[in-house]
Amino acid sequence: MALAYEVATLRNAMLDAITTRAGNAALLRIYDGTRPATGGTATTLLAELTCGTPFAAGASAGVLTLGAITQDASANATGTATWFRIVKADGTTHVLDGNVGTSGSDLNLTTTSIVATQPVSELHDYRRKSVMATYDELLTIATTASGAGLKNKIRVAAVVACDTIRAEAVNTPNHANRIIWAARTLDNPGAAAEKLTWAVLAKNRLATAAQITGADDATVQTAVASAIDLIAQG
């Protein structure tokens, strides 16, 4: 049985799930430094604002626009805002993380410079866009220089996977085909990476383009490992 879905409807439903999880009076925390893995240990807290009730109106056209946000009357610390985290009103339950900038980010501020004890309220564009990469974005990653970093990681991950396959038990499912694939990959890692790139993009299509291209080594290695058996078939 083949399943079909309408992309905009699916995106809106996924975004509305964020509103449900956030609940009323969720907390928007703004941080400096390097954004950690989703839900990971936070860096320096610069400011904390309170989201509205409800958190957002219903998503439309793949965009979730938040309701009124109450300012932080006195910023916690001085620094440059680089990322944010939303948690439920209990202060601990994670909802989502995102990037901060002055344009084109998940959270856009009038300025990313935050000063301790000063109010933080100048949110000129606060929208959580679709969590799914578009097909155009996936094609761009696969075929242009914007995806070069990811493709290079996939190439290395493929070679590392060959060593894992060489050492695996002979009764590992699909072992014979995996050994053949590993030999071919070591002979031409670039060609193997090209095929794997498409498989990795397809499997991770529900992520944003930024999440896909910004994936760390461990994440790419896991994605490659899960895609090998799709390709190693006789």
- Bridge partners, residue 196, by sequence: none
Q: What's the whole-number mean pLDDT along residues 14-30?
A: 92
Distance between first and last Cα of the chain: 26
How would you class 220 by CB atoms within 10 Å of its CB: exposed for 0-12, middle for 13-18, buried for 19 or more? Answer: buried
d(CA 54, CA 62): 18
pLDDT at 5: 42
Q: What CA–CA distances, in Å, run from 149 to 93, 155, 198? A: 33, 10, 15
Cα-to-chain-centroid distance, residue 176? 34
Q: Tell me: the pLDDT tens digits for 127-158?
A: 444 456 788 889 999 999 989 999 999 999 99
Q: What's the whole-number mean pLDDT along residues 195-224?
A: 86
Specify the range with the lowest mean pLDDT, choosing from 38-42, 80-84, 121-125, 190-194: 121-125
Residue ranges per domain, the chain?
A: 7-129, 135-231
Predicted structure pTM score = 0.54
pLDDT at 230 over 70: yes
Residues 6 or more apart whose CB falls under 8 angstroms from that of 40 comprise none
| Tokens 């498989």, located at residue | 199
Confidence of residue 3 (pLDDT cuts 50, 70, 90): very low
